[in-house]
Structure 1
């Protein structure tokens, strides 16, 4: 299952708003830029630089990040955010990507685990 279209950020104006807000959080593998949203759900974008590798590698990284984000989606706050992948992500396994992504989203206070 992919991230629904309503949950994606695609337009340049949306990216510019998020980056100009200058609120970012980072760990060794990811940087998350965020902007509080008026919507009732989160919206996300994934950015992978050409420095990380060819198109196949970049698409693999985006796919890993998308799949790591899906199980967390029920506990994400109503925020627009861009996940920027840093050098080294391309060599991580899925579990390592999920662990690093969860960590950076917790630090950014986007991911709040609800007690059941």
Structure 2
């Protein structure tokens, strides 16, 4: 994920927690904060409770790939995504669908029209 798409500093994470709002499903909690920018920025959080470093890094890779696939349909806000325990057993497609569901619940999903010309 490109640097400009990431939240990196603790202050950025805290601003999203403080000023944003959250939605959740069984696998993820998504905090959203409106921002005036050209694309979304995201911070990922996977707790040590979810497994060892290998499992946590796998979860982050799956989340980053899902975000890459969903990018055209996600509003350009700041997000912090927290993985929950059930997310560790998901496949790539299931992670993508679960994040899509969370974004729809947060009302930040915008369906792109397919140009068929």
TM-score when normalising by structure 2: 0.93
Distance 1:114 1:39 in 2: 19
Looking at structure 2, the residues matched to 21 and 27 of structure 1 have their Cα atoms a distance apart, in angstroms, of 20
Instruction: Quote the Cα distance in structure 2 between the aligned partners of 1:15 and 1:22.
Output: 10
Q: Which residue of 2 aligns with 1:34?
A: 32
For residues 3-82 of structure 1, the aligned pairs below 5 Å read 3-82=1-80
Query: Contact 2:72–2:112 at 8 Å: present in 1 too?
Result: no
Unaligned stretches of 5+ in structure 1?
Answer: none
Cα distance in 2, alignment partners of residues 106 and 115 from structure 1: 16
Q: Could you tell me which runs of 5 or more consecutive residues in structure 2 were left unpaired when the two chains were aligned.
A: none
Divergent runs of 4+, >4 A: none
The answer as to whether partners of 2:46 and 2:83 remain within 8 angstroms in 1 is yes
Aligned pair count reads 114
Task: Compute the TM-score of the two structures, normalised by the length of structure 1.
Answer: 0.94
Q: For the aligned residues, what is the CA RMSD?
A: 1.0
Query: CA separation in 2, counterparts of 1:52 and 1:21?
Result: 27
Aligned-partner Cα distance in 2 for 1:65–1:34: 16
- 1:72/1:111 contact within 8 Å kept: no
